[in-house]
Structure 1
Amino acid sequence: MKKSKKIAFSAGIALAIGVINYTGIHYYINSKVDPVTVAYAKDDIPPNTKITKEMVIERSVPSSSLPPEAMVAPSSVIGKYTANNFGISKHSLFYKGKVMAAEKMPNSSVLKLKSGELAFPLLVDLETSLGNSILPDTKVDLFFRGKVETVEKVNGSTITVEKPIYGRIAKGVRVTSVKDTDATNVFSDTKKKQNGGFASPTTGEGKTALAKIYTFAVDEQINEVLNKATLLGEIRPVATGSDEIDTTMSDDDIVSWIEGQSFQSASPNDLVTKKDGDQE
């Protein structure tokens, strides 16, 4: 009787071990061949191209066959861009570092332009950037600040006097990018603060990166006025929530004044300038 119990006990242990081994092997095999849905390029995708849904196909492959840097989910690549120097070949996987969000692209300021918009760049410093507080995708007003010479009579004498001129050229202009001296985006919306705002990255020395170049989205007419204005004085971005701005001229008058200072060529011959050594 005791012998039969021992045989039954041994058989039970053997059976349990067999079940455990079978389960373990089955789990191991499943973990290796467990199919996952992966994004592949339907056709060749050139560099610097926005990836659309139509460019992506899905395939089911074993999870163990995927390289560690592969971007698996189609949603992780759709809406992003191929890197400037790296396209995606037909039927290839998408890889991290080769597919970027728009704000990570070197030409992010251009990618954000809408139809009919031009990119207007502006050098800034700590003062004109309002202490690094003007963020991408916000709107500001652009003002012109300069000086004009007027002739006045003082005590019977005619003298030339410089007077300030200040007015708004454009209202509600969108900021498309804020970059530092290395042309790197100062702010990144992939590093959110707890309050939902932008996080400011630091330099290699641990200091906060400072804004050096703003890029604004403007229409063709405003772009022309702004470019003329930079030759006459200074352009300043102003963050304001009010239309009542204390200026020396109205918006229309400042634009008209800037246009009036510009040379209007009647023909290409009018642009011929005197060279050194030319006789009067």
Structure 2
Amino acid sequence: MKLSTLAKKRILAGVGAVVVVTAFYFYNDAAVEQKISPVKVVFAKTDIPPHTQITEEMVFEKVVPGQAIPPNALSEVQQVIGKWTVDGYGVAKNSLVYNGKILDTGDMPDAAILNLEDGEYAFPLLVDLETSSGNAIRPNSYVDLYFVTIQDKKPLTGKLYERIRISTVKDSKTQNVFGAENYTESAGTSQLQSSQVASSSNNPSALAKLYTLAVTEEQLDLLTKAKVMGNIIPVANSDSYNDSVEGEYKLDKSMQEIHDYIETNSYDQKLTELENSVEQASFKVGDQSVDTNSEPVETEDSAVNNEDETVKGG
């Protein structure tokens, strides 16, 4: 028995309706499952104040429905530990931790201080395109420092220190020159030092202007004097990126001569001589010891007594 044309149309319409309903069901089920699919995110275990380095004890992971989670919420504690909350923004207890609201130490505005190790001091040094080796010297690399001045119309140069660590590199607006926003990828290589370079085309101000050097207290004293007396030039070498150079730092003869020159011509030497001369000319009130070279001082009482004695003698 042959089906009529109307019957065929009804069958096809029914099959089409079933297909549409089935497709809608599976689509809706997938959409609902995607929205309620559990995801792992990071919460604050306690209140985290602004400008605070996050430790493992401050955060925890929790699985929650994905529908309620913003896309910039961090999902693993390892993405959070060791980073800092930015100034003016803390994380409340049981709140999500968001990307962009926490920074690496090197990206903090005061990274020059945060990067210092125990016993280190921050020494600022202005640089330009030449002394920064064409904007090539990066943070946490090591440089040798040379002293340059003019003595009797002749140049005097010499090495001051070896392997001084650069804590931060800032531009003229005190922004990090080697921040992630200033990087561009070069084709043909995946090495960090060669494939990522500070891009002055994307950011014209991303040129090194200020180095912060991590130095000891003794080095800080001599470098401060040297900067007043002349110029300090940072020089990179083949070990600038090497953190494990063998051998101890030694002050050779030429370096010692430069150190002696700076100390000899520093004001504090003359100040010491002045203090010594003052001590020699002073007297101790408690011991009533007076310098023999000083002239006697006539007081008002002694003058009156002398007049009385003169009257009696007359």
Length-normalised TM-score, structure 1? 0.76
Partner of 2:208: 211
Contact 1:167 1:251 in 2 (8 A): yes
* 5+ residue gaps, structure 1: 149-160, 243-248, 271-280
Quick check: 1:166 aligned with 2:157?
yes
Shift of 1:108: 1.9
CA distance in 2, matches of 1:37, 1:268: 70
Task: For 2:11 and 2:77, locate their aligned partners in 1 and report how far apart those are by CA, in whole Å.
Answer: 55
The question of whether the paired residues in 2 share the 8 Å contact of 1:201 and 1:208 is answered with: no
Selected match of 1:223 from 220, 223, 227:
220
1:162 Cα deviation (Å)?
A: 3.6
Residue number in structure 2 paired with 1:68: 71
Deviation, 1:83, is 0.8
- Structure 1 Cα separation of the partners of residues 55 and 15 of structure 2: 59
1:155-184: per-residue Cα shift (whole Å, max 9, x none)? xxxxxx343322211101111221111111
Identity %: 39
- Aligned partner letter, 1:260: T
Among 192, 205, 210, the residue aligned to 1:196: 192
Instruction: Give the Cα separation in 1 of the matches to 2:25 and 2:180.
Output: 49
1:26-65 equivalences in 2 (<5 Å): 26-65=29-68
- Per-residue deviation, residues 40-59 of structure 1 (Å, max 9, x unmatched): 11111122222222221111
Match of 1:256 in 2: 260
Q: Give, in angstroms, the shift of residue 139 of structure 1.
A: 1.0
Deviation at 1:89, TM superposition (A): 1.5
The CA distance in 2 between the partners of 1:203 and 1:97, in whole Å, is 24
* Structure 1 position 132, deviation (Å): 1.5
Which runs of 5 or more residues in structure 2 are unaligned? 240-252, 277-314
In structure 2, give the amino acid aligned to 1:223: L
How far apart in 2 are the matches of 1:102 and 1:222? 25
Give the 3-state SS of the residue equivalent to 1:119 in structure 2. strand
Q: CA 1:201/1:225 → structure 2, altered by over 3 Å: closer, same or farther?
A: same
**Preserved CA contact (<8 Å) 1:177 1:215:** yes
The SS at the match of 1:250 is: helix
Q: 1:27 to 1:2 in 2, by over 3 A?
A: farther
Q: Alpha-carbon deviation of 1:29? A: 1.9
Runs of 4+ in 1 over 3 A off after TM superposition: 5-22, 189-195, 201-204, 264-270
TM-score of the aligned structures, taking structure 2 as reference length: 0.69
More helix as a share of residues: 2
**Which residue of the partner structure matches residue 290 of structure 2?**
none
Between structure 1 and structure 2, the one with the greater Rg is 2
Aligned residues: 251
Q: 1:162 to 1:17 in 2, by over 3 A?
A: closer
**Residue in structure 2 matched with residue 95 of structure 1 by the alignment:** 98
- Greater mean deviation of Cα atoms: 13-22 or 79-88: 13-22
2-structure distance, mates of 1:60, 1:169: 57
Instruction: Report the Cα offset of residue 203 of structure 1.
Output: 6.5
1:13 Cα deviation from its structure 2 partner: 6.7
Give, in angstroms, the shift of residue 202 of structure 1. 3.4
Q: Distance in 1 between matches of 2:21 and 2:134?
A: 70
Distance 1:28 1:230, change over 3 A: same
Whole-angstrom CA distance in 2 between matches of 1:65 and 1:267: 74
Aligned 8 A contact 2:61 2:75 in 1: no
Shift of 1:76: 2.4
State the Cα distance separating 1:258 from its structure 2 match: 1.7
What does residue range 147-186 of structure 1 map to in structure 2 within 5 Å?
A: 147-148=150-151, 161-186=152-177
Assess, with a 3 A threshold, how the Cα gap between structure 1 residues 147 and 121 changes in structure 2: closer, same or farther: same
1:118 aligns with 2:114: no
Task: Summarize the Cα distance change of 1:102–1:2 in structure 2 as closer, same or farther, 3 Å threshold.
Answer: farther
Alignment of 1:232 with 2:219, yes or no, is no
Report the 3-state secondary structure (helix = DSSP H, G, I; strand = E; otherwise coil) of the residue aligned with 1:84.
coil
> Which amino acid is 2:199 matched to?
P
